[in-house]
Structure 1
Amino acid sequence: MKNGKLVILLASLLIFSLVISGCSSQSEQAVADSEPKKQESVQQEDSKDSKLVVQVAEATRDDLKVELDFTGELAAYREVNLVPEISGVVREIKFEENDQVNKGQLLLKLDQAMEQAEVEKVEGNLEVAKSRLDNARKKFKRIKSLYEKNVISKSEYDSTKSKYEVARAQLKQAKASLNSAETQLNKTTIESPIKGVIAQKRVELGEMATTGNPVAKIVQLRPLEFEGSISTTDLTKVEVGQSVTVEVDSYPERTFTGEVNKVAPTVNPSNRGLKVTVQLANEELLLKPGMFAAGRILVDELENVLVVPKAAVKEQNSSQQILVVKNGTVENRDVETGPANNNRIVVTEGLKPGEKAVVRGPANLQSGTEVEVTEWGETE
């Protein structure tokens, strides 16, 4: 009997334990099920409070410099290969590479012995010709006087006159020969034809300099030229005399100024571009031929035009658009634009001064979106 009661008691305890365990599991599951709903509710609440952040710039009236960028290479204004006109042994050299030389400065002398001897010989012949002419002139003067008095015959007069004319011709020939000999002598000295810098020295003392082979190369670096290429679509924007600023990697903190000197009349078939030449003063001789350079041509200067950053204008379906923030909401505007430079662009229609144009924001920003605004440039 006691054993039966014990069994009943144990069974009751087991059933009670199972009931309690089941209730606890249901309670934990209910808590677990409610947690995602709370998180979802919090996220929904946060999404209502958070807004997309955009950077805006105010459309303002301002002056605008319209500029055209292009690249190219620096080149010497002039290059001259110094070539002897006659052959000869080099006796004197008065230059070295990198020397600055003036126009007319003596640079080199060839052996002059043969040319000097020829000059002296011809000078002697000239003196003889002068003496002969002097005698012939005196004789002709005397014979002419006698002929006019009918003292001598016409044949004697003609003979004397002929000898006088021959003497005159001989003197003229002697003078020409002297001039030729002196010219040859002058060719033994070589002078610089321009003011510039010796870029290359190609001869040494005692060597034979020959016609057709340069002994030096001279470059004119002051002024210097910057040669670049522009698109044919920009042809109407560029004119001789326009101001140009030039930058080179060697002097990153400096800009050099010049002006358009030449615009090629034909298109370059290799790149379909138009060659533009800019003249730079290069007073300090800092710029060297062969340097890569970037130029910026001042095409126009506009006054009191409505401008925004170029980044604010978007191309959309063959039209131009600007996103404008009004009362915290994005509004899409179709606009028409005018000239631009590297940073700013003129807006001719669709925007008013003071309106805020979106310059930077999330991709695919739509009209009607509420946004939080920061000023363009604050984080630039």
Structure 2
Amino acid sequence: MAASRTRRPAARSSAIPQLSWRAPQPAPIVLVSGPEEICAERAGAALRDYLKAEDPSVEVSDVRADAYAPGTLLAVTSPSLFGEPRLVRVAGVERCTDEFLSEALAYLEHPQEGATVVLRHTGASVRGKKLLEAIRAGTGGGVEVACPAVRRDAERYDFAAGEFAAARRRAAPAALRALTAAFADDLTELAAACQQLIADVDGDITEQIVQRYYGGRVETSAFTVADTAIAGRYGDALAALRHALDTGADPVPMVAAIASKLRTMAKVGGTRESTGALAARLGMKDWQVERARRDLAGWNGDQLGIAIQAAARADAEVKGASRDPVFALERLVTVIATRSPYGA
């Protein structure tokens, strides 16, 4: 990571239509914004397919805004002899040259008829801010397709659910949870796993099918280690932990995943609200609340407090406060599985 902190554009209101990356529509200008690259790729492919379905003769051009040759934008958007529609995909707008910025702003004032210009801005910098503001103000008759970061478990769950829904396939909630646990670190891999199941499996996607395809990954995930420890299965938890470490799992995200489950249990514990009301108040999914309530069986407040303190200590130790991050993880799993201080 760079030593200097990268400034990010502040969220702003927009006067143009906001479209889902799963269902983009062509327009003279299509701003594809946000850091999630797999979603941006899907949006771009959907736009291409849409235009090709309308007219197979559509001309597709790719332009780099960060390595821009003056005059390119006008050249690729201008009508050809036979007047075919044009799709121009512009990448790297967050690193655009001064020449591109100047010509793109001028283009917004007079978009070419029959041309769809897709501008990809990851939000990694404020470069191109003036261009984004002009598009969002409505200059050029554009639309925006947002591709926000997918980081939380609930967001990955929704992403996977959307993959199957888009293919008109049913996936059991347990199957979706297993998939998101197995591919918690890479949204592109999660998308590929969903697409493989859609292509290979007839009928509904069940947890058993996910286990058959991706059992190795599921078994060694941090959430599996956490689940077995929280359930009090000490031997199974240590075995799962060692298996995960032997297959390359990083202690830092493992501690983070375990701590996340403990914090969710703490949020849910001690309340009698309905599942739906509590989920809405906490910004969680119903299934997350239900799972946390099941996890709390057999726990009391003191035990949960000890486990959370152990997770905080382990988090510091795996990030450099200890020379032995593996021991720190094993001690954390021991505290959780035995529901008592280490060595007690």
TM class, shorter-length: under 0.3
| TM-score between the two structures when normalised by the length of structure 2 | 0.21
Q: Which has the higher helix share?
A: 2
Whose Rg is larger? Answer: 1
| TM-score between the two structures when normalised by the length of structure 1 | 0.20
Q: Which has the higher strand share?
A: 1
Which protein has greater RCO, CA pairs closer than 8 Å, 6+ apart?
1
